[in-house]
Chain A
Amino acid sequence: MKRFLLCLLTAIAFAGARPSVARADDLSIEASVAKSEITMDEQLLLFVTVKGSANVTTPKLPTIPNFDSYSTGRSQSVSIVNGSMSSSVTFNYVLMPKAAGRFTIPPIEISQGGQTLATHPINIEVTSASAQPPQTPHRPSPIGANESIEGVMIRAHVNKRQVVVQEPVILTIQFLRRVRFLSRPSYAPPDTTGWMTYDLQPIEYTTTIQGMGFSVTEFKYELFPTAPGRLTIGPATIECSVENFQADPFDVFFQNFFQSGQSKTLKTKAITVEVAPLPESGKPGGFSGSVGQYALSANLDKSTVKAGDPITLTLEVKGEGNIKTIGEPSIPPIPSFRRYETISSLNTQSQGNRISGSKAFKTAFVPEDPGTFSIGPARFDYFDPIERRYISLKSKTLTLTVTPGTTGPPVANPAGMGSAQSEEVHILKEDIRYLKPAPSPARPFNQKLDLLALGAFNLLPLLLLAGSGGFRLSKERDLKNPEGARSRKALTQARERLKKARQHLQDSDPNLYLRTVSSAVAGYVADKLGVSKTGLALDDAARELEGRRVDQKNIQGLRELWEIADRGRFAPIAMTNTERQALYQRALSLITQIEEQIR
């Protein structure tokens, strides 16, 4: 309807002789507040009015220090005077103080047609709530005698201000109204950081306050403090648009066309609760932090089972309290039972002002040996906030009969983990591998025979290395001292030459044999003395040998041998084969004796 009227008015303006176009020069902006002094419990209404333009943009509301701000809509009026149209749009805001003190609402700007305009700053004084007489007592109803009654109200209260950790606190948010809503109210629940929150069933009823009938909606929460200290429950907020009964009837007429009623943002006060730690005295060793009033039960899905088949033990803790935080009851270990991971399931329900429910812990066991076994008792420790003491619960002891098992298919997934249809490999039960079907060849533990062979194989290359090392050293020594090497090898060389002489024993030319023997003897002497064999004179050789302490007898023998050989070299002599053999032996014996004596 409003849009229709706007379109109609615009059409009339354009249909006229010459429609007036709002100029930038006509633009103005103005800001005002309902009150310049408020308390912490109050809200401040801020109105920003933009005039002079048919199509105004929304002003930029700056960040206002120490206030939370919300927009509650806009109202617009259009006037046409002598074919000229002017417009006035009011933007409504609600400011909620966050602290007491003197504050300033900074200039609010609007930009249009290349022109920027701003409002003047507005000073606001916020006084603390304690300085004012209490306006709202902490009770849902009746409303205090001196409390102002409005068409719509919101209240919050708790049933306890001092609790221990995990002790429940009931928070009630009451939403009272006796006016008609023009739009659906928007409810924002309180900030409960530091609390574990359970929603209770909201209730609606009607009540009478100071003779006025109110419809009441109660939002209820059960809160469990998670840590000791001063914990705060933040304000709950309701935004709504209601009929304005106090407005002028003429305005109401126009409001029906141009406005959506009066916007309201209602907030509850923050509530602080003192949370004490749980007492240390009497705290059981197995206490895992559960607080409330509980009962414990235990049962097995079977009383008789075959060895290797799974059973499921269910331990259920039931009662009132923070069901989510209930810890697992302890159970004594069961020998020769394989235990699988425990799976817990939660069941909560709200009954009146309390959360109740149960938490079940299902554990799969696989007995491995036959026999009769006792399972339990399971134990559960908790703190009762009503009795203000720790309580230990014990379940009954369960008896299980395990009969001898049979080999068969693998154990089914005992705890329901994974799925048989899954494409992944799921290890259901780790078990040892089966027997070896046949004996294997016996092996000794210590293989000493191998070690002996290893030792021999390791010794051989070392000997080879030593030999080649000796050979290399000898070669190097010979290179450094060739005369010494010649002397050292003289005997070997002489023997080799004499061997060659033996090859000529049967030769038809006896002189060839004698020359070879002569060469061997002379060569030996020359090698030992370190001189050239060519031109070696017998007298020089004898003198040198004498100087090297060679026996005279051997020197004489050398002389005789040398002369015989020389004679044979230069004149043919007749020698029998026996004589040749004797000469060979004599030469060999002689050089061997000289080798022993020579220094």
Chain B
Amino acid sequence: MNRKIGRILIVLMAALAFQATVRAQTSPASLFEDAAKAYQSSQYLKAREIYESMLTERRGDAALYYNLGNTYFRLGDRGHAILWYERASMLEPHDNDIQYNLSLAKADIKGAEEDIWDKILAYPEAHGLLWISTVLLWMWTGTLSLTWIRPRLSSRRFKRGIAISFALWIVAAGWGNWRLWNESRPWSIIVAPEAQIKSGPSDDFPVGATAPAGLRVLVLEERDGWTLVGLTNAGIKGWVPKGTVERLEMF
């Protein structure tokens, strides 16, 4: 009896040890290491395969998206490289490496240039701005309420503070809501080597424009295997076959 229990225990322990080993081999950290080894030895396809195998479980992992962008860049697929860098940037907008690689990948794309105002407007995160606007809201409403309840406290300093915090609140709330709205738009990236933009959702329509891989576009409509995209900088919209562009927001 005792011998039987001992055997069962040994089998159970062996099973646990095997499971732990398998788990260690497939842990995100070890997969990252495997992919890095493949990347270092110029086996970019293998590295990409490993990173893509982690996407389902590691969604929202900016480092994973960044590394995947690097493998696509090395494979010469600029469209997908920019797509993954942009996704990483959405999660970690102030990560220096992500921004550097993204700007390098976009360097040769005409029409993707951002002017200084675009950069300034896009710098603060929407949530940060909205939290700042909340604090400012508390400041001016609290001060105003106090002066309403206790009119004796009302002074020029109070009124100036209310006016300043109110003005800043308007700016922060407007800016934050604009950022939130802009982020929520269906932004997409052209992942095909060159997108041929047609005037209608069919091969029968003529090509009105071409756009390079990696260009950020807006998806306006999807119909019968075709996607209506808008090129905001160029003021152009037209149809491309489905799969030419990929949405930035994944989930």
Binding site for B on A (CB under 8 A): 307, 335-336, 368-370, 404-405, 407, 430-447, 450-451, 454, 457-458, 461-462, 464-465, 467-469, 471-472
Q: Please count the residue pairs between chain A and chain B whose beta carbons lie under 8 angstroms apart in the complex.
A: 113
| B144 cross-chain contacts in A, Cβ below 8 A | 465, 468
Decide: A369 and B131 in contact? CB cutoff 8 A. Answer: no
Interface status of B155 (Cβ within 8 A of chain A): no
In the assembled complex, which residues on chain B have CB atoms less than 8 Å from the CB atom of A441?
61
CA distance A458 to B250 in the complex (A): 29
Q: Contact check, A468 vs B149: say whether CB atoms are below 8 A apart.
A: yes
B42, A404: Cβ atoms closer than 8 Å? yes
Q: Is the CB of A464 within 8 A of B127?
A: no
- When A405-B42, A445-B249, A454-B131 are in contact, do A462 and B141 touch as well, CB less than 8 Å? yes
Please give, as numbers and ranges, the residues of chain A lying within 8 Å of B130 by CB-CB distance.
451, 454
Q: How far is the CB of A341 from chain B (nearest CB, A)?
A: 15
Looking across the interface, which residue of chain A has its beta carbon closest to that of B133? Answer: A458
Contact of B105 among A369, A432, A446 (CB under 8 A): A432
Please, which residues of chain B bring their CB within 8 A of the CB of A404?
Answer: 41-42
Which of B66-74, B116-124, B226-234 touches A? Answer: B66-74
Nearest A-chain residue to B57, judged by Cβ: A442
14 contacts between A and B (CB under 8 A): A335-B76, A370-B42, A433-B101, A435-B35, A435-B70, A439-B29, A440-B92, A442-B59, A446-B251, A454-B127, A457-B134, A462-B137, A462-B141, A464-B145
Complexed CA–CA distance, A442 and B42 (Å): 28
Q: Are the C-beta atoms of B138 and A461 separated by less than 8 Å?
A: yes
Given the contacts A442-B60, A445-B90, A464-B141, A436 and B250 also touching, CB distance less than 8 Å: no
Closest to B36 in A: A435
CB-contact partner of A435 in B39, B60, B91, B104, under 8 A: B39
Given A432-B70, A439-B61, A447-B127, A472 and B149 touching (CB < 8 A)? yes
User: Contact: A444 with B36, CB < 8 Å?
Assistant: no
- B54 contact set on A, CB distance < 8 A: 439
Residues from chain B with Cβ under 8 Å of A462 in the complex: 137, 141
Give A294 to B140 CA distance when docked, in angstroms: 80
How distant is the Cα of A496 from the Cα of B35 in the complex, in angstroms? 79
- Give the contacting residue for A439; candidates B28, B149, B249; CB below 8 A: B28
CA distance A440 to B92 in the complex (A): 10
Residues of B within 8 A of A435 (CB): 32, 35-36, 39, 66-67, 70
CA distance A433 to B91 in the complex (A): 18
The 3 closest A-B pairs by CB, nearest first: A468-B145, A436-B63, A442-B60
Which residues of chain A come closer than 8 Å to B67, judged between CB atoms?
A: 435-436
The prevalent SS among residues of A at the interface is: loop
* A439-B134 in contact (CB<8A): no
Tell me, in angstroms, the Cα distance from A430 to B142 when the chains sit together.
53
> Could you mark each residue 33-51 of chain B with 1 if its beta carbon is under 8 Å from any beta carbon of chain A, else 0?
0011001111000000000
Structural contact, B127 and A336, CB atoms closer than 8 A: no
Q: Please, how many angstroms separate the alpha-carbon atoms of A454 and B75 in the complex?
A: 43
B: residues with CB less than 8 A from A are 28-29, 32, 35-36, 39-42, 54, 58-64, 66-67, 70, 73-76, 90-92, 97, 100-101, 104-105, 107, 127, 130-131, 134, 137-138, 141-142, 144-146, 148-149, 151, 184, 249-251
Are the CB atoms of A472 and B148 closer together than 8 Å?
yes
Q: In whole angstroms, what is the CA distance A165 to B21 when docked?
A: 80
Q: Shortest CB–CB separation between residue B14 and chain A, in angstroms?
A: 30
Assess A432 versus B250: contact at CB under 8 Å? Given A405-B42, A454-B134, A461-B137: no
Is A461 a contact of B63 with CB atoms below 8 Å? no
Q: Are A444 and B42 in contact (CB under 8 A)?
A: no
CA distance in complex: A441, B92 (Å): 11
Q: For A450, what are the chain B residues with a Cβ–Cβ distance below 8 Å?
A: 127
B249–A446 touching, CB < 8 Å: yes
Residues of B within 8 A of A464 (CB): 141-142, 145
In the bound complex, how far is the Cα of B213 from the Cα of A335, in angstroms? 14
Alpha-carbon gap, A171 to B141, bound state (A): 91
Complex: chain A residue closest to B31, CB-CB: A439
Which residues of B lie under 8 Å from residue A370 when comparing CB positions? 42
| Pair B40/A407 contact, Cβ less than 8 Å | yes
Residue ID in chain A nearest B138 by CB atoms = A461
* B-chain residues with CB within 8 Å of residue A407 when the two chains form the complex: 40
The complex places the Cα of A528 from the Cα of B32 at a distance, in Å, of 82
User: What CA separation (Å) do A458 and B130 show in the bound complex?
Assistant: 10
Does B134 contact A436, Cβ atoms closer than 8 Å? no
> B145 contacts A368, CB within 8 Å?
no
Q: Which of B60, B76, B107, B145 has the most CB of A within 10 A?
A: B145
Cβ-neighbour of B73 out of A307, A432, A437, A451 (below 8 A): A432
- A465 surroundings in chain B (CB, below 8 A): 141, 144-145
Rounded to whole Å, the gap between the CB of A121 and the closest CB of chain B is 71
16 more contacts with CB within 8 A, not counting A368-B76, A435-B35, A454-B130, are: A336-B76, A404-B41, A407-B40, A432-B101, A435-B32, A435-B39, A435-B70, A436-B63, A438-B63, A440-B62, A442-B58, A444-B251, A445-B60, A461-B138, A461-B141, A472-B149
Q: Contact between A442 and B76 (Cβ–Cβ < 8 Å)?
A: no
Choice from B40, B60, B97 contacting A444 with Cβ under 8 Å: B60
Q: Please, which residue of chain A has its CB at the minimum distance from the CB of B180?
A: A451
Q: Least Cβ distance of B88 to chain A in Å? A: 9
Give the residues in chain B near A432, CB-CB below 8 Å. 70, 73, 100-101, 104-105
B97:A468 contact, CB within 8 angstroms: no
Alpha-carbon distance between A430 and B184 when the two chains are bound, in angstroms: 33
> What distance in Å separates the Cβ of B108 from its nearest Cβ neighbour in chain A?
11
Q: In this complex, what residue of A is CB-closest to B43?
A: A404
| A451: min CB distance to chain B, Å | 8
CA distance A432 to B148 in the complex (A): 59
Q: Report how far A462 CA is from B137 CA in the complex, Å.
A: 8
Assess the B63–A471 pair: CB atoms within 8 A: no
Q: Across the interface, which residues of B come within 8 angstroms of A438, CB to CB? A: 28-29, 32, 63
Residues of A within 8 A of B250 (CB): 445
Smallest beta-carbon distance A328→chain B, Å: 20
Q: How far is the CA of A471 from the CA of B144 in the complex (A)?
A: 13
Which of B42, B61, B134 counts the most A-chain CB atoms under 10 A from its CB? Answer: B42
Closest to A370 in B: B42
> CA of A439 to CA of B64 in the docked complex: distance in angstroms?
6
Q: Which residues of A contact B66 (CB under 8 A)?
A: 435-436
Question: Which chain B residue shows the least CB distance to A405?
Answer: B42
Question: Within 8 Å CB of B101, what residues of A?
Answer: 432-433
Assembled-state Cα–Cα distance A451/B101 (Å) = 30
How far is it, in angstroms, between the C-alpha of A566 and the C-alpha of B66 when the chains are bound?
A: 91
Does A433 lie within 8 Å of B42, measured CB to CB?
no
Asked if A430 and B91 make an inter-chain contact with CB atoms under 8 angstroms apart, the answer reads: no
CA A461 to CA B162, docked complex, whole Å: 14
With beta carbons under 8 angstroms apart, the residue of B60, B105, B142, B151 that contacts A461 is B142
Residues of A within 8 A of B131 (CB): 454
- A440 CA to B60 CA in the complex, in Å? 9
CB neighbours (8 Å) of A445 from chain B are 60, 90-91, 249-251
Which residues of chain A are near B251, meaning CB under 8 Å? 444-446
Partner of A368, one of B29, B74, B105, B137: B74
Interface centre among B74, B131, B148 (most CB of A within 10 A): B148
Q: How far is the CB of A168 from chain B (nearest CB, A)?
A: 41
For the complex, give the distance between the alpha carbons of A368 and B42 in Å.
Answer: 10
CA gap between A504 and B212 in the complex, in Å: 91
Closest chain-A Cβ to B27's Cβ sits at a distance in Å of: 9
- Which listed residue (A434, A442, A457) contacts B61, Cβ 8 A? A442
The docked-state distance in angstroms from the alpha carbon of A350 to that of B101 is 52
